[in-house]
């Protein structure tokens, strides 16, 4: 997978200007289809506590799907709609990651998430749910923070912890970047696939 490395500060500033984001504001990003199993609702429900603690906090939601209307209504009910940018389907996700401080994926079910891998490769710290697929990628408390699915309060606590501790956030971002380089690069994927085929084709004793 040809993921880019962590963005430079120059690219970060440019990306924030392009998206109209304040330079000092904490920016969360979630890249996922707007469907029930991705549980954007838990992230929206986590926002009030985070907004209270972190001035100017923004959430960028990238993706589209059948839940968008329901999620927008929930954000209005929670009083958080003014802190959410609904970016829809985008072809400039790397630039959006450049502008962000933290990647969040609150799914109840997940495969091997390319969006999660891309965020980690970009050096973003991640908060995600402890479900199969995600737990195969993220090493808890090393390359990301994992929380139980369906628990907005735990999601808020994990996000708050990383925003409040920049050094921990940077450490997790670096570890996530290295894990993607070590475990999910294209050369390793090819080698693993080739080894699997060789094992399948190896003659078995009669």
Per-residue pLDDT of the chain (206 residues; tens, 9 = 90+): 333 445 578 888 899 999 999 888 999 999 999 999 999 999 999 999 999 999 999 999 999 999 999 999 999 999 999 999 999 999 999 999 999 999 999 999 998 899 999 999 999 999 999 999 999 999 999 999 999 999 999 999 999 999 999 999 999 999 999 999 988 874 555 455 445 455 556 665 55
Span between the terminal Cα atoms of the chain, in Å: 40
Q: How many residues does the chain have?
A: 206
- Nearest partner of 93 among 186, 7, 158, judged by Cα: 7
Chain centroid to CA 108: how far? 14
Domain boundaries, the chain: 9-201
Q: pTM higher than 0.95 for the full model?
A: no
CATH of domain 9-201: 3.40.50.2000
């Amino acid at each position: 997978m040809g993921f880019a490395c962590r963005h430079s500060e120059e690219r970060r500033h440019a990306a924030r200007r392009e998206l109209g984001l304040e330079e000092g504001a904490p920016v969360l990003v979630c890249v996922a289809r707007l469907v029930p199993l991705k549980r954007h609702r838990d992230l929206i429900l986590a926002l009030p506590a985070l907004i209270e603690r972190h001035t100017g906090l923004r959430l960028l939601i990238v993706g589209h799907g059948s839940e968008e209307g329901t999620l927008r209504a929930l954000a209005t009910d929670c009083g958080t709609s003014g802190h959410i940018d609904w970016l829809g389907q985008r072809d400039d996700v790397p630039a959006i990651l450049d502008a962000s401080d933290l990647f969040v994926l609150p799914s109840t079910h997940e495969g091997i998430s390319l969006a999660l891998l891309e965020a980690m490769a970009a050096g973003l710290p991640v908060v995600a749910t402890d479900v199969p697929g995600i737990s195969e990628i993220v090493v808890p408390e090393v390359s990301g923070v994992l929380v139980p699915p369906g628990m907005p309060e735990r999601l808020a606590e994990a996000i708050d912890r990383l925003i409040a501790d920049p050094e921990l956030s940077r450490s997790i971002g670096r570890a996530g970047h290295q894990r993607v380089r070590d475990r999910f690069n294209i050369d390793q994927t090819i080698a693993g696939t080739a080894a699997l085929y060789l094992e399948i084709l190896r003659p078995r004793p009669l």
